[in-house]
Amino acid sequence: MTLILGIETSCDETAAAVVEDGQRILSNVVASQIDIHRRYGGVFPEVASRQHILSITPVIEEAMDEARLSWDDLEAVAVTYGPGLAGSLLVGVNAAKGIALGCGLPLLGINHIEAHIYANWLERKGEPFDKPVLSVVEGLRTGPGIVFPMLCLVVSGGHTELILMSGDGQYQRLGGTLDDAAGEAFDKVGRLLGLDYPGGPAIEQAAQYGDPTAFDFPRAWLGDSYDFSFSGLKTAVLRIVKTYETKTTRSDEGSRRVAREPASRQLPVVDLAASFQVAVVDVLVEKARRAAQECHAEQILLAGGVAANRLLRQEMAKRSSLPVLCPPISLCTDNAAMVAGGAYFRYQAGYRSGWDLDVIPSLKLTG
Ligand code: KG4
Ligand code: ZN
pTM over 0.85: yes
**DSSP helix/strand/coil, 170:** strand
Distance 205 CA to ligand 1 centre (A): 13
Distance 312 CA to ligand 1 centre (A): 12
Nearest CA to ligand 1 atom 14: 200
Give CB contacts under 8 A, 24+ apart, made by 126-134.
129/23, 129/24, 133/23, 133/325
Q: Give the pLDDT of residue 265.
A: 56
Distance 148 CA to ligand 2 centre (A): 23
**DSSP helix/strand/coil, 30:** strand
Distance 225 CA to ligand 2 centre (A): 24
Distance 114 CA to ligand 2 centre (A): 10
Per run of 10 residues, the mean pLDDT along the chain (length 367 residues) is 97 95 95 84 87 96 98 98 97 98 98 96 62 39 68 97 95 97 97 95 98 98 97 97 73 48 72 98 98 96 97 95 91 97 95 98 90
Q: Give the pLDDT of residue 251.
A: 52
Distance 241 CA to ligand 2 centre (A): 29
Q: Give the pLDDT of residue 366.
A: 85
Q: Give the pLDDT of residue 136.
A: 42
Whole-angstrom distance, CA of residue 305 vs CA of residue 349 = 28
How do beta strands 299-303 and 150-155 pair?
parallel
Distance 259 CA to ligand 1 centre (A): 36
Q: Give the pLDDT of residue 257.
A: 45
How do beta strands 13-20 and 3-8 pair?
antiparallel
Nearest CA to ligand 1 atom 23: 200
Kindly state if the Cβ of 326 falls inside 6 Å of ligand 1: no
Kindly state if the Cβ of 22 falls inside 6 Å of ligand 1: no
DSSP 297: -
CA distances from 262 to 41, 266, 341 (A): 18, 7, 47
Kindly state if the Cβ of 200 falls inside 6 Å of ligand 1: yes
Q: Give the pLDDT of residue 71.
A: 97
Kindly state if the Cβ of 14 falls inside 6 Å of ligand 1: no
Kindly state if the Cβ of 114 falls inside 6 Å of ligand 1: no
Sign for the pseudo-dihedral over CA of 118, 124, 128, 133: negative
Whole-angstrom distance, CA of residue 265 vs CA of residue 255 = 18
Kindly state if the Cβ of 111 falls inside 6 Å of ligand 1: no
Q: Give the pLDDT of residue 217.
A: 98
Atom of ligand 1 lying closest to residue 310 CA: 26
Among 156, 204, 234, 310, which is best to mutate for testing ligand 1, by the most ligand atoms less than 8 A from CB? 156
How do beta strands 170-176 and 150-155 pair?
unpaired
Cis (ω within 30 of 0) for the bond into 83?
yes
Q: Give the pLDDT of residue 46.
A: 87
